[in-house]
Structure 1
Amino acid sequence: MDLHFEVNGKGLPVVLIHGSGVDLRQWTFLASLLTKNYQVIVFDGRGAGKSPSPIKHANYVEDVLALMDYLELNQATIIGHSMGGQIATDFALNYPERVSKLVLIAPSLTGFPYSKEFEQYHNKILESAPNIDKMLELALHSPTYQVVIDSPHKDLTVQMLRHHFGRLLKWPAEFCMIWPQPPAMERLEELNTETLFFIGKKDLADNFRVADCFRKVPNIRFIEIEDADHMLPLTHSEVLYQEFTAFMED
């Protein structure tokens, strides 16, 4: 197993998948709460944190499978945030027997048509490369970070983003992500895993449109969190933990 991972606590296994622009440090606060009652597995996705960079492509769904196989986990509760939620959704659709319950925190979604504004925002950041300070300035000037930027977790957010951009600049030009087909957006009716869905009320409009797509999921519960942007695992770990505990005991 070439991915960097950490395992703490005892009990039912819970695998946490971080989003884009961050690494396993995103889970610092939630993971410390979960380890009271669960075996918690956090890891750096390929190209993030202490894990190796991709060579030409990355299949993040298969990476989760490989990690679970390596740890001999037949089944686990999967928690995914942002792109980690996208990975978790695809994983649950393609390997449903490996997922006991699914928790999605403001997930993205394969096959979803993001708005021009969303694409322009990301393109502006990439166009400012290799000036990492400029990339950071543009990235943080977004509703995505409007709450966390004024919180005690601002410094950690900036550290993770800076690290991410530094690694991103070294990725091969031909890099691409490989996702299962057909896209998850076309298959959400097949997602039979019991699912809990979180979103901050100050998140991007696109992410609320993604949330609407998930209403096709047969067994799903939605929770909107006040005074929260996209970075819920950093700013609202206590709320996530309380709702997760109730979800697991249900």
Structure 2
Amino acid sequence: MVVMTGASDLRCFPSADGDLAYLDTGSGDPVVLLHSGFVDHRLFRDQIPALSAEYRVIAPDVRGHGSSANATRPFRWADDLAGLLRHLDAGPAVLVGVSMGGAIAVDTALEYPELVRAVVACSSATSDFAYTDPWVRRVQADQAAALAAGDVDGWLAAFLRFVPGERRTTDDIAPDVVRRVRDMALRTLSKHAPGEVDHHVPMTDVRPRLPRIDVPVLVVNGALDAPDLVAESERLARTVPHGRAVTVEGTAHYPNLERPEELNEILLGFLRGLQRRASTECR
């Protein structure tokens, strides 16, 4: 099954603050794919065909990313996603997120539990997590300095260092993976002006509330990702009542790009397990 993910395949949800773009394909139980920061739904190019063969796959561009509108007023990620799911009558859904997308999934499970059937958090912790890893902090500082200087190429070079992680270089990564991340990041960056107001309202009470997430939670980490993020995501899996963690060897922050077939097997195994559990409970 071939699924196109070009601009012509996107639909728009008319939110109270501009149109939010999303892809909606396949049929069956809904699975929502939530991308990481500075990219868009195309991050899941290798997951969408595999998952949509068995499930209804919804892949939005988060506000301020890709083809979705920028914010002009305060907003929260979870509220945007809840509005989209209600618009599509697509809850409860399994939320699958990478990095920022995983944080959105956790936020939504806390704020709108009736809309969430399960969560997969890949390369992600909670939205109130802050890196302490020295290498990550240096890369973030380089990004901030380049952005302040209006140096787009410098910002992109720093951002792309997250693809291989600290122990590798971009030369160790398939060129197509690096190009895809760069193209998506450049597109999102071009949507924003220097010094514009950040209207995102972060949630600050996530970690203490994790035990309230009473749905299955799967945490997926790349073995080469930042150690403090890996530790915090594994803590997430231990803290929720129904959590577990798996590791994808030889990958850093984007296992879905570096090992797409392995990640697809993990996701499909998790989703099919949910179906089997639901079937057993209905007997």
Once the 2 structures are TM-superposed, how far is the Cα of residue 164 of structure 1 from its aligned partner?
A: 2.6
Question: Number of residue pairs matched?
Answer: 248
Q: Which aligned pairs between 1:1-250 and structure 2 lie closer than 5 A?
A: 1=14, 2-115=19-132, 117=134, 118-129=136-147, 130-142=150-162, 143-144=164-165, 146=168, 150-151=173-174, 152-168=176-192, 170=193, 173-180=196-203, 183-214=205-236, 215-250=238-273
User: Is this contact kept in 1: 2:217–2:242, CA < 8 A?
Assistant: yes
Tell me the distance in 2 between the aligned counterparts of 1:95 and 1:196: 18
Once the 2 structures are TM-superposed, how far is the Cα of residue 248 of structure 1 from its aligned partner?
A: 1.9
Unaligned runs of 5+ in 2: 1-13, 274-283
User: Is this contact kept in 2: 1:61–1:179, CA < 8 A?
Assistant: no
Residue type at the aligned position of 2:202: W
Report the TM-score when normalising by structure 1: 0.91
Residue type at the aligned position of 1:107: S
Identity of aligned residues (%): 25
Q: Kindly provide the CA deviation profile for residues 74-96 of structure 1, in whole angstroms up to 9, marking residues without a partner as x.
A: 31111111011001001011111
Q: Kindly provide the CA deviation profile for residues 38-57 of structure 1, in whole angstroms up to 9, marking residues without a partner as x.
A: 01001111110011111243
Tell me the distance in 2 between the aligned counterparts of 1:42 and 1:180: 23
Residue type at the aligned position of 1:166: S
Tell me the distance in 1 between the aligned counterparts of 2:213 and 2:170: 31
Q: Which range moved further: 110-119 or 92-101?
A: 110-119
Residue type at the aligned position of 2:185: L
Tell me the distance in 1 between the aligned counterparts of 2:86 and 2:169: 37
Tell me the distance in 1 between the aligned counterparts of 2:58 and 2:188: 21
User: Is this contact kept in 2: 1:189–1:218, CA < 8 A?
Assistant: yes
Q: Which of the pair has more CA radius of gyration? A: 2
Tell me the distance in 2 between the aligned counterparts of 1:74 and 1:199: 26
Residue type at the aligned position of 2:41: L
Tell me the distance in 2 between the aligned counterparts of 1:180 and 1:82: 16
Tell me the distance in 1 between the aligned counterparts of 2:56 and 2:141: 39
SS of 1:11's equivalent in the other structure is coil
